Amino acid sequence: MVRNLRDEPIHDRYKAVTERTIQRYPEWEALDPDLCRAVQVVSRVLPFRVNEYLMRSLIDWDQVPEDPMFQLTFPQKAMLEPPDFRRVAELVDRGASRQEMEGVVREIRMGLNPHPAGQMTDNVPELDGRPLPGMQHKYQETVLFFPARGQTCHAYCTYCFRWAQFVGMPEMKFEARESEDLVAYLRRHREVTDVLVTGGDPMIMKTKALRAYLEPILAADLEHVQTIRIGTKSLAYWPQRFVTDDDADDCLRFFEEIVEAGKHLAVMGHFSHPVELSTKVAREALRRIRDTGAEIRMQAPLIRHVNDSADTWAELWREGVKLGLIPYYMFVERDTGARNYFEVPLARSHRIFQEAFQQLSGLGRTVRGPSMSAHPGKVRVLGTARVRGEHVFILDFLQARNPEWVGRPFFARYDPDATWLDDLRPALGEDRFFFELEKAA
Cα 298 from chain centroid (whole Å): 11
What does the pLDDT look like over 7-25, one tens digit per residue?
Answer: 333 444 456 777 777 777 7
What does the pLDDT look like over 236-290, one tens digit per residue?
Answer: 999 999 999 999 999 999 999 999 999 999 999 999 999 999 999 999 999 999 9
**Which letter does DSSP use for residue 55 in this model?**
I
280-291 vs 248-260: helix crossing angle, rounded to 10: 30
399 and 428 Cβ atoms separated by less than 8 Å: no
**The 390-400 sheet, strands edge to edge:** 135-139, 142-145, 194-197, 227-232, 264-270, 295-302, 326-332, 368-373, 377-387, 390-400, 410-413
Q: What is the pTM of this model?
A: 0.91
Identity at 57, one-letter amino acid code: S
Percent of the chain with pLDDT over 70: 92
Lowest mean pLDDT among 11-25, 62-76, 147-161, 264-278: 11-25
State the average pLDDT for the chain: 90
Greatest distance between any 2 Cα atoms in the chain: 67
Identity at 331, one-letter amino acid code: F
Query: Span 160-178, mean pLDDT?
Result: 69
Closest alpha carbon to 187 in 210, 216, 228: 216
pLDDT band at 307 (very low <50, low <70, confident <90, very high): very high
What does the pLDDT look like over 104-114, one tens digit per residue?
Answer: 988 988 887 77
